[in-house]
């Protein structure tokens, strides 16, 4: 699974799950990641980044501002949320 797929499918994911990403690289739409309830089934090299509910919130906020938000805009919204614990303003 890639981060772009997670952003695209955010509304269909379980908000109780967690997003796992590699912390040794810059996150892009093609970054490999995992969505899981716990870390026992996560691929090596991936670490807990945030709750899927937070991903959904960042995506929903971006789409509320820009209904036609591109995948790059959704990524920017997620990264801003991760870095600032706040929603981006487009």
**What pLDDT is stored for residue 34 in this prediction?**
96
**What pLDDT is stored for residue 16 in this prediction?**
92
Q: What is the pLDDT of residues 2-28, one digit of tens each?
A: 999 999 999 899 999 999 999 999 999
Contact status, residue 39 vs residue 48, Cβ threshold 8 Å? yes
**What pLDDT is stored for residue 40 in this prediction?**
77
**What pLDDT is stored for residue 38 in this prediction?**
84
- From 14, 1, 2, select the one nearest 56 (Cα to Cα): 14
Q: Cα angle at 84 between 44 and 81, to 5 degrees?
A: 65
Task: Give whole-number Cα distances, 10 to 17, 61, 63, 84, in Å.
Answer: 11, 12, 12, 20
Other CB atoms closer than 10 Å to residue 7's CB: what's the count?
22
Q: What is the pLDDT of residues 31-61, one digit of tens each?
A: 999 999 987 778 999 999 999 999 999 999 9
């Amino acid at each position: 699974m890639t981060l772009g797929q997670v952003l695209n499918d955010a509304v269909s994911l379980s908000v109780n799950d967690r997003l796992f990403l590699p912390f040794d690289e810059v996150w892009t739409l093609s970054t490999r990641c995992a969505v899981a309830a716990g870390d026992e089934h996560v691929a090596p090299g991936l670490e807990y980044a945030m709750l899927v509910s937070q991903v959904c919130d960042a995506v929903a906020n971006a789409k509320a501002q820009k209904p036609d938000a591109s995948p790059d805009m959704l990524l920017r919204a997620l990264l801003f949320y991760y870095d600032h614990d706040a929603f981006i303003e487009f």
